[in-house]
Amino acid sequence: MNFSKMHGLGNDFMVIESITQDFVLPSLKIKELSNRNTGIGFDQLLLIEKSYNSKYDFHYRIFNSNGNEVEQCGNGARCVGLFLVLKGLTNKKQIHLSTNKKNIIINFISQDIIEVNMNEPDFQLSSIKSLEYLKNHNFSVKIINNNLLCSLVSIGNPHCVIQVESIKHAPVKNISKIIEKKSIFPCGINIGFMQILNKNHIKLRVYERNEGETQSCGSGACAAVAIGIAKNLLANNVKVELLGGNLSIKWKGFGKSLYMIGPANYIYEGFIYI
C-alpha cells in the first residue's frame, strides 16, 4: 500500500487513496500504523475514496490514531487537496469533497495555501444530547462544579470552546480530561482554549478527543472563531495563532459559510506491506 505523510501546521497525517489501490484497513491496523515508535506515526489517517455522488469529486474519510472514524478534520482537508493534485488525481483548482457528515469545497489560493469552505457552523448541536443543559442563546453549558462556562458548536464534529486569560497558563490537560468524560458528550468532544488578543487575533490551544493536545486543529480554529463572532467578541476575519502556526478564519455570520485558509505540507511518501 502506497501512502504519503503530510502535515498542516504540525497536525500530521498518513494519507492514502483507495482509487487506484485495493486494500482493507481495520481499526486495529490503523492503531498499529499510528504508533510513533513502531509504526509510521500520525494524529489522523486520511482515506480518499471514489465519489459516491456525481456532484462530488472524491469521498474523504478521517480516522483518529486509535482507529476510530471521526467526522471532520480541517487541517486534513487542506492536505487532501494538495495530495490529490500532487498525485495527479485531479487538476482542478476547486475540489468538491463529500464526507460522512458534511460536504466541503477546497480552493487553491497558491500551490500550498488552501481555502476550505467548512459550511455554516451548527449551533443546534444535534450531536450532543441533553440540550436542556444549554443556556438560552449563549451556546454554552456550565461544567466542572457549575463554575466553568463551555461554549458549544459543531463544525461537522463537536467542539467546546473556553475563553481564558492566557493559553500559556491554562491547565489544558487537566480540564480537558474532566470535560471529555462528561456524560452530556456521548461521542466525546474537542476542547479549545481561546485567548482573545483583539477582535482580529486570537491564540488557541486544542485538546482533541481521543488524541490529546495537538500542534494544530483546523476545525478547532473554526469553532473558536465561530463562537467569538456569535458572541460579538470577534470581527469577521480572524487570525488564529496555534502552537504549530497560523490560520485565517473568515465568517460573515449566521446563514453564511465559514472559510479556513492555511498551508498544507508534503513530507514524504512510502509503501508498506499490509
CA–CA gap between residue 20 and residue 46 (Å, rounded): 15
User: What is the three-class DSSP state of 27?
Assistant: helix
Nearest-angstrom CA–CA distance, 189 and 127: 10
For 145, counting Cβ atoms within 10 Å of its Cβ (0-12 exposed, 13-18 middle, 19+ buried), the class is exposed
Active-site choice (73, 79, 160, 222): 73
Name the E strands within 102-234: 104-108, 113-117, 140-143, 148-154, 158-163, 190-198, 201-208, 212-214
How far from 163 is each of 2, 129, 202, CA to CA, in Å? 42, 23, 10
Active site residue 160: no
73 counts as catalytic: yes
Strands 258-263 and 113-117, bridge-based pairing: antiparallel
9, 260 Cβ separation under 8 angstroms:
no
How many beta carbons lie within 10 A of that of residue 131, not counting itself? 12
Cell numbers describing residue 271: 509503501
CA–CA distance, 244 with 249 (Å, rounded to integer): 16
Q: Which of 79, 150, 217, 222 is catalytic?
A: 217
Active site residues: 73, 217
